[in-house]
Amino acid sequence: MCGIVGYAGYRQAYSILLDSLKRLEYRGYDSAGVAIVGSGVTVQKDKGYISHLEETAEPTPGTVGIAHTRWATHGPPSKENAHPHLDCSGEIALIHNGIIENHMELRARLKASGHVFRSETDTEVAVHLIESYASDGLEGAVRRALQDIRGSYAFAVIHAKEPDKVVAARNESPLVVGLGTDENFLASDVPALLKHTNRVVYVMDREIVVLNREGARITDYEGRPVAREPQRITWTLEDAEKGGFEHFMLKEIFEEPQAIHDTLLGRVAEPELNSFFREGYTNVKLLACGTSYHAALVGKYILEELARVPTTAELASEYRYSRAPADRPLVVLLSQSGETADTLGACREANRRGCKTFAITNIIGSSLSREAQRTMLTRAGLEIGVAATKTFVAQLTALYLLAIRIGLERGTLGVEEANRLKEELRRLPRAVQAVLNEAPYIEGLAHEYAKTRDVYFIGRHLGYPIAMEGALKLKEISYIHAEAYAAGEMKHGPLALVGAETPVIAIATRDHTYEKMLSNIREVDARGAPILAIGTEGDKDLGKVVDNVIYTPAVPPLFAPVPVVVALQLLAYHVARIRGCSIDKPRNLAKSVTVE
Ligand code: F6R
């Protein structure tokens, strides 16, 4: 996730662009850059915050320009990798939000025809492609380049030879036009526009915009004009930053289909990573803290199932004190922030013990990505709410990909089976969306839980770590005491606590543990506990034994943790909201825990 802005009007573009860009800093802030077109194109960019660019760059005169705040996905944060990127002639500048899936193939083709690359980004191919079609004029060149590009993007481009305009395009990444008087704007999101206008036009997938001082002309990729009425935005700036949602946490839950989709993008062939997984270990150890640890627990089941490799999941804070065993596992470290001190410490210890270390993190360039030998990036975008939500489902997505890859390397999965699994993965965003559509129903149920003091979550197999995650979400944002148990363990102790005052939330999706879960549900029912089950759509039996059911779409059992956890996140959110809690910043907690 990055932020892009564009301006064409009568005022000096530079300060308008930087000011608007600051409103998009929530989309990423590892580097920033601006390009102004006047008598040529001037680019100023650097690694670091937008404020750093402001302090170090010289305001460039000109009334048309583009600017970018980066959230690195390909190539670490650096001046070279910061946007805007220039073509070989230095006359075309381009900014991009998204991922170009076929960038490796395009880079090879462009290099072979003499283009010189200056960055490691996927983005740079786009500006060289446009250069290669420049004889068609800027709009025509963009149109032709888009035919070669696969992936998700919002681009904005300027050209020294056509200094009155910005050309932009979108596919699967947000882009909105702001209409002013004698000036017009472009941005990834409405907050960047609100200071100047509240009249906006949302650009849709596979549309091109030509923005100048007089207006914004939108066409589809085939060149047909698009007529769309502007909308008037009535949000305040703060509302707009949350995309109209009441809290960042809710916004981030609703971004989960996109987070899964983006994490899957462009992950087909990374030969260097494949060889990393080929040999040199007999077992896998997953290390993490908090929510990431729950992803690790799910990961254990996934890896054992798909790659048939013995796997353990351990808390990073505990691993460091264990004795070094004789074996050298492949150590996978999961951390949203990549800065959690306990996880970093575990990574250093695993390196010291001579293990292969592999990080799964949402932050490229984070300490963990530097300390681990290899890294896979989850592409959930910036998460602002302290409670991890979209980064958790992105971690699960990365673990499925990892297990498929290790399975292929170890020969436990054939190519056909791997492709079938990837197809299932690509369906997950839709399954998540189906749960999100149930948000009003879940909100209704939340009223029953808002007044309670204790809640128990139960699950078996893959449902157990998801029960743990459901309990963690509820306790951290609503301050209700919540515990999770493996359903089979209830009779060994916790059942003593269960009664009419202690609701139980049971993960009871249709898998090989389902019958046993029904027995465990009956056990708590017999003690008078009100029961909410998370079940599978079409299950006619479950509703007969519990008080309420949240149905989730039928997906293969291995993938069920994803839709199920979304239901639990929504429940926790609404309970906390009804209780009036500080949802995005729960008491005593921080987004990144850099102390041990
Ligand atoms: C819970 C939560 C924390 C983090 C934990 C690890 O919602 O966010 O439990 O999961 O502090 O953080 P990362 O993943 O950044 O290492």
Residue 247 within any structural domain of the chain: no
316 Cβ below 6 A of ligand 1: no
Bond from prior residue into 84 cis (ω within 30 degrees of 0) = yes
Please state, in angstroms and rounded to a whole number, the distance separating the CA atoms of residues 161 and 184. Answer: 20
- CATH number, domain of 547, equals 3.40.50.10490
Cα–Cα dist 291/273, whole Å: 26
The predicted model scores a pTM of: 0.80
Low-confidence ranges of the chain (pLDDT < 70): 266-273, 592, 594-596
Q: How far is CA 569 from the centre of its chain?
A: 16
Whether 91 is in a domain gets the answer: yes
378 shares a domain with 518: no
Question: Is 201 in the same domain as 275?
Answer: no
Determine whether the shortest distance from the Cβ of 380 to ligand 1 is under 6 A: no
| 292 CB within 6 A, ligand 1 | yes
Contacts of 270 (CB under 8 A, 6+ apart): none
Any residues with CB less than 8 A from the CB of 44 and at least 6 apart, and which?
A: 33, 34, 35, 53, 57, 58, 60
Task: Answer yes or no: is the C-beta of 389 below 6 A from any ligand 1 atom.
Answer: no
**Ligand 1 centroid to residue 110 C-alpha, Å:** 42
Indicate which residue of 422, 516, 585, 591 is catalytic: 591
User: What pLDDT is stored for residue 129 in this prediction?
Assistant: 98
What is d(CA 345, CA 312) in angstroms, rounded to the nearest whole number?
Answer: 18
> Does residue 362 line the site of ligand 1, with CB under 6 A?
no
Nearest-angstrom CA–CA distance, 407 and 543:
38
Same domain? 500 vs 554 = yes
DSSP conformational letter for 325? P
User: Are 350 and 374 in a shared domain?
Assistant: yes
- Describe the crossing of helices 290-306 and 463-478 by its angle, rounded to 10 degrees: 170
Sheet of 284-288, strand order: 311-315, 284-288, 330-335, 356-361, 374-377
Q: Are residues 303 and 352 in the same domain?
A: yes
Residues 477 and 424 in one domain: no
Q: Are residues 426 and 444 in the same domain?
A: no
Indicate the number of domains in the chain. 3
- 387, 406, 436: which is the final residue of a domain? 436
Does the CB atom of residue 343 touch ligand 1 within 6 A?
yes
Please give the structure tokens belonging to residue 146: 């888009």
Please say if 2 is a catalytic residue. yes
Please give the structure tokens belonging to residue 346.
């575990």
367 lines ligand 1 (CB under 6 A): no
Report the chain's terminal Cα–Cα distance, integer Å.
30
The CA 317 to ligand 1 mean position distance, Å, reads 13
Helix or strand run (H / E) with residue 575: helix 561-578
- For ligand 1, whether the C-beta of 317 sits within 6 Å is no
Spatial contact of 279 and 414, defined as CB atoms under 8 Å apart: no
- The answer to whether residue 248 is domain-embedded is no
Residues 369 and 67: their CA atoms lie apart, in Å, by 27
CB of 291 closer than 6 angstroms to any ligand 1 atom:
yes
* Region label for 477, one of left (φ > 0), alpha (ψ between -120 and 50) or beta (otherwise): alpha
Ligand 1 mean position, distance from CA 197 (Å): 38
**What secondary structure, in 3-state letters, does 401-442 show?**
HHHHHHHHHHCCCCHHHHHHHHHHHHHHHHHHHHHHCCHHHH
Residue 397 lies in a domain: yes
> Which of 336, 339, 479, 592 best tests ligand 1's pocket when mutated (most atoms within 8 Å of CB)?
336
Q: Is the CB of 289 under 6 A from ligand 1?
A: yes
d(CA 370, CA 31): 18
pLDDT tens digit string along 249-261?
999 999 999 999 9
**Phi/psi zone of residue 206: left (φ > 0), alpha (ψ -120 to 50 degrees), beta?**
left
Q: Specify whether 418 is located in the same domain as 313.
A: yes
Measured between alpha carbons, how far is 391 from 106 in angstroms, rounded to an integer?
Answer: 30
The pLDDT of residue 74: 82
Residue 136: give its domain's CATH number.
3.60.20.10
Instruction: Provide the pLDDT for residue 273.
Output: 65
Which residue has the CA at smallest separation from atom 5 of ligand 1? 290
Measured CA angle at 582 (ends 581, 588), to 5 deg: 110
Distance 458 CA to ligand 1 centre (A): 22
Do the beta carbons of residue 538 and residue 567 sit within 8 Å?
Answer: no
Q: Which of 2, 289, 347, 355 is catalytic?
A: 2
Q: Are residues 390 and 452 in the same domain?
A: no
Q: How far apart are CA 457 and CA 467, in angstroms?
A: 5
State which ligand 1 atom lies nearest to the alpha carbon of 368. 16
Would you say residue 245 lies in a domain?
Answer: no
Helix (H, G, I), strand (E, B) or coil at 238: helix
Known catalytic residue at 347: no
Kindly state the tokens that stand for 503: 């609701």
Distance 335 CA to ligand 1 centre (A): 7
Both tokens assigned to 248: 């960042």
Q: How far is the CA of 467 from the centre of ligand 1 (A)?
A: 16
What is the CA(343)–ligand 1 centre distance, in A? 10
My answer on whether 317 and 350 are in the same domain is yes
Mark whether 153 and 137 lie in a shared domain.
yes
The whole-angstrom separation of Cα 284 and Cα 309 is 7
Task: Please name the amino acid found at residue 297.
Answer: L
Pocket test for ligand 1, best of 286, 287, 292 (most atoms within 8 A of CB): 292
Give the separation between CA 153 and CA 41, rounded to whole angstroms.
Answer: 23
Whether 349 is in the pocket of ligand 1, judged by its Cβ within 6 Å, is: no
Residue-range definition of the domain harbouring residue 397: 256-436
Whether 29 and 160 map to the same domain: the answer is yes
d(CA 519, CA 102): 50
Query: Where is the domain boundary, 182, 208, 240?
Result: 240
Q: What is the token pair recorded at 480?
A: 């209700």
Is residue 246 a part of any domain in this protein? no
Residue 296 CA to ligand 1 center (angstroms) comes to: 12
Ligand 1: which atom is nearest the Cα of residue 361? 14
pLDDT value for 588: 82
